[in-house]
Amino acid sequence: MLKFRLKNMDCAACAAKLEHGLNKADGVEDAVVDFVNQTLFVQTGEIQHVVKTARAIDPKVELIPKSDRTIPPATGNNNEGINFKKEVGLLVAATVLFGWLLINEHKLAGASLFTWPMLIVLAAYVMAGGNVIANAFQTIRRGTLFDENVLMVIATGGAIGIQAYSEAVGVMIFFKIGELLQAGAVSRSRRSIHALLAARPDQAVVKTTQGLRTVTPESVAVGDILVVKPGQKIPLDGNVLEGQSHLDTSALTGEPVPLSVKPGDPVMAGQISTTGALTVEVTRPFRESSIARVMDLVENATARKARTEKFITTFARYYTPAVVLIAAAIAFLPPVLTGASYQTWIYRALVLLVISCPCALVISIPLGYFGGLGRASRQGILVKGSNYIDVLAAVKTVVFDKTGTLTKGVFRVKDVVSRNGFSKDQLLEFAAAAEFQSNHPIATSILAFFAERGGRLNESQILAHTVHAGQGVTARYDKRSILVGNDSFLHLKAIDHDQCEFDDTVAHIAVDGQYAGHITIGDELRPDALDAIQALRDQGVDHIAMLTGDNDCAARAVADKLGLDRYDADLLPEEKVTVFEKIGRDRPNGKIAFVGDGINDAPVIARADVGLAMGALGSDAAVETADVVLMTDTPRKMAEAVAIAKQTRRVVWQNILLAFAVKGVFISFGAFGLATMWEAVFADVGTALLAVANATRILRG
């Protein structure tokens, strides 16, 4: 998908028109305009056609191509078409003239167009609404006819026509104040996101044979050695070779607690070394690093709009012309049918036009979702689109993977039990040989324990290593056939073995088809697992389950400690999908989420209404498949994601109800002559500002 930065995009309604127009254009598969971030996402193979079409829709808007590494400025306005200093200056001048009009309103009665009092009226009107008039003219010239600028020009121009001069100028001044305040609020929201993107490191210090050399992170290769001094950002993902330090990880994870690292520990791009110098070996190129992935997810999140956003965009497109037609009917039908005063009913129609501007909805709804995405990002929760905010808010069932998700996934050998004449040392050697080429946590724990006991392998004798997903491994070692696996694997191979009733993971070992014994391996619950389950229940999640390939005893122990509603054990990866789909059929009310961290979790993550990958260093397959990425290894983030989504939805619906309620009341008042244009503009601008302020509240938490 191509990305363009939009320059001179004046208003949210203009953004909606551009999006609608591009989606109707030939050769465009999909187009999304993010007004808050001033970005166009478009899927097409005809770039020049897109640029030409965009220029035809809105001639003043410029499309500037964005690369994946482009970071928008963290300062500035949300609307590059507004020169704040100039607009504020004109606004002050218009306000001064407006004050004169209020004092000398009696001099305007019956004044002709070219008298100096009328020239002051026109000067104040143009100073306050110059850009509104220009935008309305461009809208009409494009043949679109209706937007909030056109509504304001019709309303205020009509007010001048019926000699309501002070109201015409006052409405335009307050509309301008509201426009500037809204732009400032959106700008603050943008800065909060850009502050996260600013965590991108801009240089790397590489150790070479000629000494230290400062280069860009993009030019660093895997295997290069970096030097990171205290206070500097780690530029690429890697492993610590030398040095110890505490890392500030808040830009990536949202966690304020420093992370301690030593030689052998992994580090991520974007983390800051605070207390010591580190020597780091690069393990990933920059484009695949953690910070690059975070930047990409954050920048592209707004390309997937929620259904509510799409509805409001469509609604505004039909709402504005409908309001103009209703206003025209109010202005002319009563005088024609009843002989009532044209001036009275035209004034009421103008009041209706002022109050009916859709700004509150068109700006505040996308800003609300944007705030939710930004707040989640600051807390280390990367949501890949506004649409997933809605799904998270509706989650009633959460299914967790066990190992590495609810438990630490750090296994330690607790006991070695040999059988049929094999010694414990032989059992460990055979198990270590079979697991030597595996990177599974169980394999790592067996190899570590074997090394601690001084064991040595003849690596040249390890042959025919095969992984049997969800069951175990087989290999040949020292001319003998070795099998290491779980209970179901030994049943599959028809090997008699111990029936182990432990609350731990058990690895059975068979040599040449004969049972040789088993190794019990302990795992620990994550410290916040119980809190996470309780927090989810507090958020209205009423069914929590767990799926695991581990044995039933170990799974039952975890489920009992956490108070889960259901668990399924001894599952192969494909069986996890089957069981998950059954849970979904049994729980038709509400959405279902799955949280996992391993490559074997990717198929289930893809099947969930919303799939979450936990841990920034988790499987790439899980992260790519997931709809939400939790940057820390803590299940509590799942509860935080649901809480943020629910707050975002509450704020969005508060804004929708607020806008419709206020506009409905004042439209009724205006139609029956119970509201003046002053009240209308206060209601319109006030509603928009309240909605925007409410939306930005999400970012503050």
pLDDT category, 41, cuts 50, 70, 90?
confident
Is 151's pLDDT higher than 50? yes
* DSSP structure class, residue 512: T
In sequence order, what are the residues at sequence separation of 6 or more whose Cβ sits closer than 8 angstroms to the Cβ of residue 502? Answer: 520, 553, 554
Number of other CB atoms surrounding residue 495 within 10 Å: 16
Residue in 180, 159, 182, 189 with CA at minimum distance from that of residue 171: 159
Give the three-class secondary structure for 46: coil
Query: pLDDT of 579-620, one tens digit each?
Result: 999 999 998 888 999 998 766 788 888 889 999 988 654 456
Q: What is the pTM of this model?
A: 0.73
Rounded CA separation 344/331 (Å): 8
Provide mean pLDDT across the span 230-246: 91
Please state which of the ranges 37-51, 217-231, 567-581 shows the lowest mean pLDDT: 37-51
Give the Cα-Cα-Cα angle 474, 479, 484 (nearest 5 degrees): 20
Provide mean pLDDT across the span 344-353: 86
Is 12's pLDDT higher than 50? yes
- Domains, the chain, in order of start with CATH, read 2-66 (3.30.70.100), 68-192 (no CATH), 204-289 (2.70.150.10), 372-406+527-638 (3.40.50.1000), 412-522 (3.40.1110.10)
Would you state the pLDDT for residue 622?
Answer: 65
pLDDT category, 567, cuts 50, 70, 90?
very high
- Phi, psi (rounded to 5 degrees) for 525: -65, 145
Is 187's pLDDT higher than 70? no
Would you state the pLDDT for residue 539?
Answer: 93
More confident residue, 515 or 55: 515
Residue with tokens 């909605």: 691
- Phi, psi (rounded to 5 degrees) for 661: -65, -50
In sequence order, what are the residues at sequence separation of 6 or more whose Cβ sits closer than 8 angstroms to the Cβ of residue 497? Answer: 487, 490, 508, 510, 515, 518
Cβ contact 522:507 at 8 Å: no
Provide mean pLDDT across the span 663-668: 82
Is 336's pLDDT higher than 70? yes
Number of other CB atoms surrounding residue 624 within 10 Å: 13
State which amino acid sits at residue 697: R
Token pair recorded at residue 336: 């024609």
Rounded CA separation 659/174 (Å): 18
Rounded CA separation 574/592 (Å): 18
pLDDT category, 11, cuts 50, 70, 90?
low
Q: Using CA atoms of 428, 431, 433, 434 in order, give the dihedral in degrees to the nearest 10.
A: 180
Provide mean pLDDT across the span 626-642: 89
Catalytic residue of the set 10, 34, 401, 550: 401
Residue with tokens 């695949």: 288
- Quickly list DSSP for 374-424: HHHHHTTEEES-HHHHHHHHTEEEEEEEIIIIIB----EEEEEEE-TT--H
Percent of the chain scoring above 90 in pLDDT: 21
Residue in 492, 474, 491 with CA at minimum distance from that of residue 483: 474
Would you state the pLDDT for residue 49?
Answer: 82
For the chain, the C-alpha Rg in angstroms (whole number) is 32
Provide mean pLDDT across the span 390-416: 89
Rounded CA separation 561/563 (Å): 6
Average of per-residue pLDDT values in the chain: 82
Beta-bridged to residue 266, according to DSSP, are: 239
Provide mean pLDDT across the span 61-89: 61
Catalytic residue at 401?
yes
pLDDT category, 258, cuts 50, 70, 90?
confident
Provide mean pLDDT across the span 216-231: 91
Number of other CB atoms surrounding residue 335 within 10 Å: 15
Q: Name the pairing type of β-strands 381-383 and 628-630.
A: antiparallel
Would you state the pLDDT for residue 631?
Answer: 81
- CB-facing half-sphere around the CA of 486: CA atoms within 13 A: 21
- Phi, psi (rounded to 5 degrees) for 501: -105, 70
Would you state the pLDDT for residue 648?
Answer: 93
Cβ contact 76:39 at 8 Å: no
Rounded CA separation 652/114 (Å): 49
Would you state the pLDDT for residue 566?
Answer: 94
State which amino acid sits at residue 429: E
Rounded CA separation 23/2 (Å): 14
Residue in 466, 567, 453 with CA at minimum distance from that of residue 519: 453
Provide mean pLDDT across the span 223-247: 91
Residues in the chain: 701
Would you state the pLDDT for residue 21?
Answer: 84
Provide mean pLDDT across the span 627-638: 88
Is 203's pLDDT higher than 80? yes
Provide mean pLDDT across the span 178-205: 68
- Phi, psi (rounded to 5 degrees) for 230: -55, 135
More confident residue, 303 or 160: 160
**Which of 358-362, 464-468, 481-485 reaches the highest mean pLDDT?**
481-485
Query: pLDDT of 511-538, one tens digit each?
Result: 998 999 999 888 888 989 999 999 999 9
Residue in 281, 8, 306, 315 with CA at minimum distance from that of residue 135: 8
Tell how far CA 424 is from the center of its chain: 51
Please state which of the ranges 150-154, 314-318, 334-338, 553-557 shows the lowest mean pLDDT: 314-318
Cβ contact 132:306 at 8 Å: no
pLDDT category, 69, cuts 50, 70, 90?
very low
